Structure 1
Amino acid sequence: MFRSFTALLILLFVSSSPVWANPVTLTESDDWRIRATLGLFAAAKTNGNVTVAGNTAALDMNLRDALEHLDFTATGRFEAWHGRLGLIAEGHYIGLSESALISSGPGAGRFAEVESTQSWLGLLVGYRALSGEMGNGRPFAFDVQGGARYNRLTQSVVGIGGLVDVGGTERWWEPVVGARYAWEIADSWTGAIAVDASGFGANGNDLAWSANLAISKQFNERSSVVFGWRHYDINFETTRSDGAFGADFYSTGPFIAYAYTFK
């Protein structure tokens, strides 16, 4: 049972980070430039281990394994830039559930309902540190970002007749920093490389980091599609009343997103 439960927990952490890298614009403007993005990250490979209620399980999951447990997920990013300064908000929700066989402890041999949800909100400030033109005359930009992220994670395992009931809710704040380099590949095509890191020992999250490579295709003045590859790594550990709780793994895979520019 705990292998199934920790598989759900892996999905919660993997899905909890932004997956798009392209900025709202490569050129500075005295007018506000605002963009909203909705996207999906597909974890093609996940490897590592997690601990729930003092039970540790090693995991080696592919995309098919992950999608079997997904109920609903939504994730979005909002950027507003004026000159060199930007305001960024990121939001996320994911819910997963499964009926799993209890393999040990009270209620062994019975099925239990496993439910997990996670939501978070990140607020960051961005600064356009560098911008200009490359040798071919096409624009480039380099941004740095910093802020805070609020996390809420709920997990529970309830057996038939209440024979098993473990889990609960964890809430925590953590700092987030990031950097992004983007350049114009061709007319209506933009490339970007972005990295971010969070935690730094705050509230049990020793370190979480990601690296992203993205390409954006602009179809008109308002709409773009962003796709690329993301690698995510986390080392999180805390202690609850029912035992140790943690995650130490990496996940890698493709992502796709739709971006809409308001002005």
Structure 2
Amino acid sequence: MTAGCTIRRASPPLHLAFLAVCGACHAAPAGAAELLSEDWQFNLTPYLWALSIEGDVTVKGVEASPSVSFNDILDNLNYAIMLEGDARKERIGLFANVIYADLGDSGTVGPGPGLSIKADAKMTIAGAGAYYRLGPWNLDREAGASGPRLVVDPYAGIRYTYMDTDLGFRRIERDVGADKHWVDPIIGVRTLWELTPRWNVNVLGDIGGFGISGASDLSWQAVGLVGYRFGLFGSDDANLVAGYRALSQDYKDGNGRDAFKWDMILHGPVLGLAIAF
């Protein structure tokens, strides 16, 4: 394989699983038991995103259309850190999150002994922003505040992506690598449905990029989570959430042999634990 070749979706080599990093960004903070409070409320959420990935990527003329499952990603994952936090007082809230993944693999391409390749990738996606809480609205007038309630959190912020990739071709003694980073402005809305004191639902979506000053042409995210609140260190201070998340990024930089393209959709089930304090 030489620069300018295209690796087709029908048989993506396993070494390209490094592209299936465990990315994401703002999944919006899990709701605390008090929808509005005069005191500061904090949530810290470690989580796992069992993602799959598909789309198109170009690194210095080397093009690929990977379609990689979570099992392929897990086989090539050295380690990943996924964490997000939230702070809110009354209607004003702030959020921040970070995901770091380190992946590596080696393999061969072509018949016979083929071409030996070593692939490594490190990726960080971080987000931060603010939201304003609207509501709560009682969904059952007869039950009032003791019944199901709804709040809506419009939010705005940024999503930062850093990617460091390297492909080493041993037979031809050539390396192809890219070190890219970009920042996407994002706007979105989250809805939090408190169905019972224990059960809750989060649904959110955002869009960003817009091709502004080196950002993605377009980025979007959609998340749906079902939560169950219980006591871990105190009374109802933990919310176990499970659901599905999808994140799309369409970023391009440069032309010709120096072109870099990341047009990918990352999606899969999510499991997390929000701890309030």
TM-score under structure 1 length normalisation = 0.87
- Structure 2: how far apart are the matches of 1:152 and 1:70? 17
CA shift, 1:66, in A, is 2.3
Unaligned stretches of 5+ residues in structure 2: 2-6
> Is residue 133 of structure 2 the alignment partner of residue 133 of structure 1?
no
Q: What amino acid maps onto 2:239 in structure 1?
A: S
CA shift, 1:223, in A, is 1.7
Identical counterparts, % of pairs: 25
- Structure 2: how far apart are the matches of 1:171 and 1:229? 26
Deviates more, 1:197-206 or 1:232-241: 232-241
The question of whether the paired residues in 2 share the 8 Å contact of 1:22 and 1:190 is answered with: no
- Structure 2: how far apart are the matches of 1:159 and 1:199? 34
Q: 1:218 maps to which residue? A: 229
TM-score under structure 2 length normalisation = 0.83
> Is residue 175 of structure 2 the alignment partner of residue 165 of structure 1?
yes
Q: 1:195 maps to which residue? A: 205
- Structure 2: how far apart are the matches of 1:225 and 1:253? 17
- Structure 1: how far apart are the matches of 2:97 and 2:85? 6
Q: 2:62 maps to which residue? A: 55
Structure ID, larger Rg: 2
CA shift, 1:112, in A, is 2.4
CA shift, 1:254, in A, is 0.9
- Structure 2: how far apart are the matches of 1:224 and 1:79? 13
- Structure 2: how far apart are the matches of 1:62 and 1:157? 21
Q: 1:34 maps to which residue? A: 42
Deviates more, 1:16-25 or 1:228-237: 16-25
The question of whether the paired residues in 2 share the 8 Å contact of 1:215 and 1:226 is answered with: yes
Q: For residues 177-224 of structure 1, give each alpha carbon's deviation from its aligned partner in whole angstroms, at most 9, with x where no partner exists.
A: 221001112231111111122222132511111111101111212222
Deviates more, 1:139-148 or 1:247-256: 247-256
Unaligned stretches of 5+ residues in structure 1: none
Q: For residues 77-133 of structure 1, give each alpha carbon's deviation from its aligned partner in whole angstroms, at most 9, with x where no partner exists.
A: 1100001000111111011111132559xxx93422211001133220111133221
Match of 1:206 among 217, 229, 232: 217
The question of whether the paired residues in 1 share the 8 Å contact of 2:219 and 2:250 is answered with: yes
Q: 1:72 maps to which residue? A: 79
Alignment of 1:107-146 (within 5 A): 109-135=114-140, 137-146=147-156
The question of whether the paired residues in 2 share the 8 Å contact of 1:157 and 1:165 is answered with: yes
The question of whether the paired residues in 2 share the 8 Å contact of 1:26 and 1:139 is answered with: no
Q: CA RMSD in A?
A: 2.5
Q: Hey, which of these two has a bigger chunk of strand by percent?
A: 1
Q: What amino acid maps onto 2:150 in structure 1?
A: F
Q: 1:239 maps to which residue? A: 254
- Structure 1: how far apart are the matches of 2:263 and 2:269? 21
- Structure 2: how far apart are the matches of 1:78 and 1:21? 7
Q: For residues 28-73 of structure 1, give each alpha carbon's deviation from its aligned partner in whole angstroms, at most 9, with x where no partner exists.
A: 1110110000111112x53322222222222332222222221111
Match of 1:182 among 189, 192, 195: 192
Deviates more, 1:181-190 or 1:45-54: 45-54
The question of whether the paired residues in 2 share the 8 Å contact of 1:22 and 1:215 is answered with: no
What SS class does the counterpart of residue 73 from structure 2 fall into?
helix
Match of 2:106 among 95, 99, 112: 99
- Structure 2: how far apart are the matches of 1:26 and 1:161? 61
Residues 79, 21 of structure 1: alpha-carbon distance in 2 compared, 3 angstrom cutoff:
closer
